[in-house]
Amino acid sequence: MSLFITFEGPDGSGKTTQISLLAEHLRAMGHDVLITREPGGTSIGDQIRTVLHDVKNVEMMGETEFLLYSASRAQLVREVLQPHLARGGTVLCDRFADSSMAYQGYGRELDLEAIRLITQFATGGLTPHLTIYLDLPVEVGIQRKQTAYVAQAGEWNRLDRQTLDFHRRVRQGYLKMARAEPDRWLVIDATQSIDDTQAAIRARLKTLLSSVRKVRTA
């Protein structure tokens, strides 16, 4: 059975750790798990990522930024995600289309309807079965990211340079999307321990898997 799970959340919310723990769990259950990320995940996507994250690109317009994320996404969907899902595999993706809605839509305040339309085109309508949002107060996220950067364990990109207000709008945007589609979203308080967060994810996954099985046998 193919399964597409995406992880969203502010920088520093622990997505990478949670993704590897979940992958371990799913592999033990026999799933063929592929981990990937946005922007990137393909050779073309990684080249686009370099342009997007380069702190020298101060003149980049919000529209350009959104279209570049969408271009990377269109490539990832067709080159990697669709083939793996078509083989019955499971995909865990670090960020997906909801990041564009949160950062470019709510954060940069670009037209939400235009983002929806272009995203539909870029993804070919591919939507996650489950989206896990690791929620963190904005200040805590920025603090964690800075600590990682100072410890040379993380990169400092163009998006990190945004104001506190920008990051607050992004968070509110995520929470709004999660409220609008509660069946797809799982919001988790990411200030909890790594183990508690992972336990909440696994509990929700169990429910999801049993409901999919019910539909299949019905």
Which residues bind to ligand TYD, rule: CB under 6 A? 11, 15, 38-39, 69, 94-95, 99-100, 103-104, 155, 157, 159
Instruction: Report the 10 Å Cβ neighbour count for 112.
Output: 13
CB of 157 to ligand TYD, least distance (A): 5
Closest CB to ligand TYD among 110 and 186? 110
CB of 192 to ligand TYD, least distance (A): 18
Closest CB to ligand TYD among 17 and 207? 17
CB of 8 to ligand TYD, least distance (A): 9
CB of 11 to ligand TYD, least distance (A): 4
Closest CB to ligand TYD among 4 and 103? 103
Please list, residue by residue across 148-185, b when 16 or more beta carbons sit within 10 angstroms of its beta carbon and e when fewer do: ebeeeebeeebbbeeeeebbebbbebbbebbeeeeebb
Please identify the residue of the shown chain whose CB is closest to the bound ligand TYD: 103
Closest CB to ligand TYD among 17 and 210? 17
CB of 209 to ligand TYD, least distance (A): 26
Closest CB to ligand TYD among 149 and 184? 149
| Tokens encoding 56 | 């020298």
Closest CA to 76 of 105, 55, 100, 54: 100
Contacts 24+ apart (CB under 8 A), 125-129: 126/4, 126/77, 126/81, 126/82, 127/4, 127/184, 128/4, 128/5, 128/6, 128/93, 128/96, 128/184, 129/3, 129/4, 129/5, 129/184, 129/208, 129/212
